[in-house]
Structure 1
Amino acid sequence: MISALLLAATVAIPTNFLLYEKAAATKDDNPETSWSAGSRKSAPLVVDPCQKGKAGQAGRTQARTLIYTSVPDYAKSEQVVLYASAAAAGKALRDVEAAVRSCGTKGYRYSAKALALGDRALSVTGQAYEGKKPAVGGDRAIVTRRANAVIIYAVSGEWGTPKAADFKQQTKDTKRMLAKVCTIADC
């Protein structure tokens, strides 16, 4: 157990480990698009329904986050967070789940559904509403735990009525990352 904790504390997320890091490093002259990359361990989860930045903070050892934004209203994010233990990573997923249940307003609501990916996963939908009808605007994310790692792929944009197809790219990316995350996680 002690050696597993030491390994989790010393393993760093290598440069170019994330799926979109090479794209993020490519110079783009388009003033309406940009990438940001960071390795701050305290970075908020890219799925943060309450927008308080507290979900999934406890027990982190490493984090790597990429965010692509495009004018007028599109963003995609990739995040891998390593925790000191699988239990701490599980708590991070429960934090997201609790935030989904408790956050949102009349005009913007969240929902989550369990998925069969990794050790445990959720699809998280944030959706703008006008009255009871879905309006334009929302977030679609897959949040997955594998061992002591949490993997998140999210897209925000001008979504309409939520559909399963909204998660196609995030699911594909999650499966690709699940195939390699055990090289840095304590699987």
Structure 2
Amino acid sequence: MLRKIIFAATLVAGTALAGMPPASAAAPAVPKGFLLHDREVAADQAKKDEPADAENVWWASAKAGERFAADPCAHSAVAAAQRKDPKVGQAGRTAARTAYFEVEGEIETIEQVILYSSERAARSALQQFRAGVQKCRQSEGWKNGSFNRSLARVSLGDEAWKSSARAYEDGRPVTGDDVVIARRANAVTVYLASASAKPAARSHTQQLAHTRQMLAKICQIAACAS
């Protein structure tokens, strides 16, 4: 009788353990070295024993809650950092990695990969950005100046958009950004570069190329169906 009780207890314990995830299962993450610009980040970090180049520096953040790289209502990364509403693309995040290139204290380039808890949450992030663009597409002009942001669909991944923001003074563009945002499964990628020239057909050439490179390998960390 005792033998039967021990066998039954062992069977129940084994069934319970079978339903548990493996102890080695890791939480979702964007690994260090996964970004296209992580090589530049690593090279700058390796210069610890050399005088820091304060004018040109690459650095990265692994914070899951890092601000969404593209701000629908700001004309530059600096202006975006000054805004107090970082809610775009925050809900449902599980991991993120962001690389920045800073020149003389101003952010010139941003690469960001974000993982969400589901494809639905990732879609929602892009919807929030698009809704923000619709709201702030063309702000009220100020004396001798104005701001606008464009938005156009791109055939990449499961969904992608390109956008240009510009602040104008006396009819001339003085600051802004060109950005490509894409989604594949539960992952979102953002490639942004500051810009001051009038938007043109080739404005997003580099961002589109980088987006294609990242989407080609994003399923290594994203929950792609196949």
2:180 maps to which residue? 142
Give ranges in structure 1 of 5+ residues lacking alignment.
1-8
The equivalent residue for 2:214 is 177
Given the superposition, is the C-alpha separation of residues 61 and 123 from structure 1 closer, same or farther in structure 2, using an over 3 Å criterion? same
Distance 2:157 2:208 in 1: 11
Distance in 1 (CA, whole Å) between partners of 2:105 and 2:64 is: 29
CA 168–82 in structure 1, closer or farther in 2 if over 3 Å, else same? same
Aligned to 1:6: none
> Match of 2:193?
155
1:64 is aligned, of 63, 84, 97, to 97
Q: Which residue of 1 aligns with 2:119?
A: 86
The 5-angstrom pairing of residues 118-133 of structure 1 reads 118-130=157-169, 133=171
**Residue correspondence of structure 1 range 18-33 to structure 2 within 5 A:** 18-27=35-44, 29-33=52-56
Say which of 47, 53, 56 aligns to 2:70: 47
Q: Deviations over 1:56-95 (max 9, x none)?
A: 1111010101111113756100000000111100000001
1:177 maps to amino acid: M
Q: Is the 8 A contact 1:36 1:67 kept in 2?
A: yes
Q: Is the 8 A contact 2:162 2:179 kept in 1?
A: yes
Q: Which residue in 2 is equivalent to 1:114? A: 153
TM-score (norm 2): 0.74
**Residue correspondences, number:** 178
Check whether the contact 1:125–1:139 (CA below 8 A) recurs between aligned residues. Answer: yes
Unaligned runs of 5+ in 2: 1-25, 74-82
Structure number with larger C-alpha Rg: 2
Q: Give the structure, 1 or 2, with the largest relative contact order (CA under 8 Å, sep 6 or more).
A: 1
Secondary structure of 1:123's counterpart equals strand
Kindly indicate whether residue 31 of structure 2 is the aligned counterpart of residue 11 of structure 1: no
> CA-atom RMSD, angstroms?
1.9
> Structure 1 43/110 Cα, relative in aligned 2: closer, same or farther at 3 Å?
same
C-alpha distance in structure 2 between counterparts of 1:72 and 1:165, whole Å: 27
How big is each residue's C-alpha offset from its partner over 1:144-168, in whole Å with a ceiling of 9 and x where there is no partner? 01000000000013x2211121101
Give the secondary-structure state (helix, strand or coil) at the position aligned to 1:10: coil
* Cα contact 2:100–2:107 (8 A) shared by 1: no
